[in-house]
């Protein structure tokens, strides 16, 4: 589940908080579990589940919640907390079932409707979330959390003209709502209006001069609108404020990579890794820099790619590069495994598609290779033949920037 609660964002979330604000990390602070018999001790169960969730042991958490759910003597507040924890465990269907079974004033009308809308949002039922929150709006129960979620839901539906007034009004009523600023930046970025995205982010930096997230947002917006030097300065400021934040480190290194200053990019990445930032994209980009500087260091390069994939098995760029290297080293079968996954995750990646076609041909799967080759134009195929890797391109950088602005992983 997500939370668009400005207090939680200041204390619990690392990095930029935008359309998908951050993982829900704690139960509403105004709620508490009353004591129940030892066999159904809600307070004890909630504490146990909270600990498991902090360690990302979701299945164990749900098992405990399932046991507690069968208890006959839970209060309505405890049931609400139970639903909230199911949401944190990523079982949004069960969370919604519980919320909908409770009276509309548990724990209060505003929080109740927010919880339902949040569950609908997480299940990609953006229309349902909008309808729920519009009801709250008509009843005068649209607090800051709900206002942000309503704006985000409109944006997910592409209804930017509806999202803007909601978020703008929230900022007028509370000029210190960090999430409203970041959600508004994302709104403009989603509609490719990077000038206004940068303007809103600039306003946010004046209100939150010590918050790294707003400088990441500003750096991404400035880069997307073509002011690379300004974007570079913004990202350096974000790193100064939060040295362990991976996003600005990656974007800063990418900017130097694109200038073909591979040594500088490599040094920046190694500094980040040495400082404790262990990020999949950083390891992948380091492998790219190492290849450009000395392509004979196969084992060292593969080691970085292995680490990138261990941290994020769905890292398309790392899978594609490793698959190509394995293919060049005549390990075609191993290459197929990497490239199949890369192609599955992103069928539109020409680089992964072309490399997979080559790998299929190398292992004798001629028919499948022909199908993939036929899907690429002759010019694209020629470009891919002549260019070792197309993942570090303007398109990749723009996609990464947009992901950061929208809060995507």
| Rg of the chain in Å (alpha carbons) | 24
- Cβ within 8 Å of residue 17, ≥6 positions away: 9, 178, 179, 182, 213, 407
List the chain pLDDT tens, one digit each, 409 residues.
Answer: 333 333 333 333 433 333 333 333 344 434 444 444 445 889 999 999 999 999 889 999 999 999 999 898 899 999 999 999 999 999 999 999 999 999 999 999 999 999 999 999 999 999 999 999 998 888 877 899 999 999 999 999 999 999 999 999 999 999 999 999 999 998 998 888 999 999 999 999 999 999 999 999 999 899 888 888 899 899 999 999 999 988 899 888 888 887 889 999 999 999 999 999 999 999 999 999 999 999 999 999 999 999 999 999 989 889 999 999 999 999 999 999 999 999 998 898 888 899 999 999 999 999 999 999 888 866 555 555 555 554 554 545 566 677 777 656 5
Let me know: does 136 contact 110? Beta carbons within 8 Å: yes
pLDDT per residue as tens digits for the range 9-35: 333 343 333 333 333 334 443 444 444
Structure tokens at 173: 């009523």
Give the span between the Cα atoms of 166 and 19, in whole angstroms.
14
Let me know: does 292 contact 261? Beta carbons within 8 Å: no
- Which one, of 47, 85, 53, lies nearest residue 66 by Cα? 85
Residue 302 CB neighbour total at 10 angstroms: 16
Torsion from C-alpha of 315, 320, 322, 326, nearest 10 degrees = 150
Give the span between the Cα atoms of 82 and 162, in whole angstroms.
33
Q: What are the counts of helices (DSSP H) followed by strands (DSSP E) for the chain?
A: 23, 0
């Amino acid at each position: 589940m997500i939370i668009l609660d400005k207090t939680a964002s200041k204390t619990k979330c690392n990095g930029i908080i935008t359309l998908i604000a951050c993982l829900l990390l704690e139960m509403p602070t105004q709620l508490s579990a009353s004591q129940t018999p030892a066999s159904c001790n809600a307070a004890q169960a909630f504490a146990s589940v909270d600990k498991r969730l902090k360690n990302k042991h979701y299945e164990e958490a749900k098992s405990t919640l399932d046991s507690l759910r069968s208890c006959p003597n839970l209060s309505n507040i405890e049931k609400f907390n139970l639903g909230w924890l199911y949401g944190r465990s990523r079982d949004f269907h069960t969370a919604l079932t519980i919320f909908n079974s409770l009276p509309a004033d548990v724990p209060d009308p505003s929080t109740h409707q927010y919880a339902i809308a949040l569950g609908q949002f997480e299940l990609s039922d953006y229309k349902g979330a909008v309808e729920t929150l519009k009801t709250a709006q008509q009843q005068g129960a649209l607090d800051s959390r709900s206002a942000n979620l309503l704006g985000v839901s409109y944006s997910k539906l592409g209804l930017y003209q509806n999202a803007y007034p909601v978020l703008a009004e929230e900022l007028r009523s509370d000029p210190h709502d960090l999430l409203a600023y970041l959600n508004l930046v994302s709104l403009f970025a989603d509609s490719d209006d990077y000038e206004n995205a940068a303007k809103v982010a600039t306003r946010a930096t004046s209100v939150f001069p010590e918050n790294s997230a707003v400088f990441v947002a500003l750096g991404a917006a400035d880069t997307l609108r073509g002011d690379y030097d300004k974007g570079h300065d913004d990202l350096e400021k974000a790193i100064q404020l939060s040295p362990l934040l991976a996003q600005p480190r990656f974007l800063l290194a990418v900017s130097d990579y694109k200038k073909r200053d591979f040594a500088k990019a490599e040094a920046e990445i190694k500094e980040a890794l040495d400082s404790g930032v262990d990020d999949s994209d950083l390891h992948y980009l380091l492998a790219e820099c190492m290849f450009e500087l000395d392509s004979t260091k196969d084992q060292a390069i593969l080691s970085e790619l292995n680490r990138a994939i261990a941290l994020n098995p769905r890292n398309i760029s790392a899978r594609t590069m490793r698959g190509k290297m394995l293919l060049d080293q005549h390990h075609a079968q191993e290459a197929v495994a990497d490239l199949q996954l890369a192609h599955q995750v992103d069928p539109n990646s020409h680089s992964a598609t072309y490399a997979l076609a080559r790998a299929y041909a190398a292992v004798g799967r001629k028919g499948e290779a022909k199908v993939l080759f036929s899907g690429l134009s002759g010019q694209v195929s020629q470009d891919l033949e002549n260019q070792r890797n197309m993942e570090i391109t303007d398109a990749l950088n723009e996609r990464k920037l947009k992901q950061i602005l929208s809060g995507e992983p």
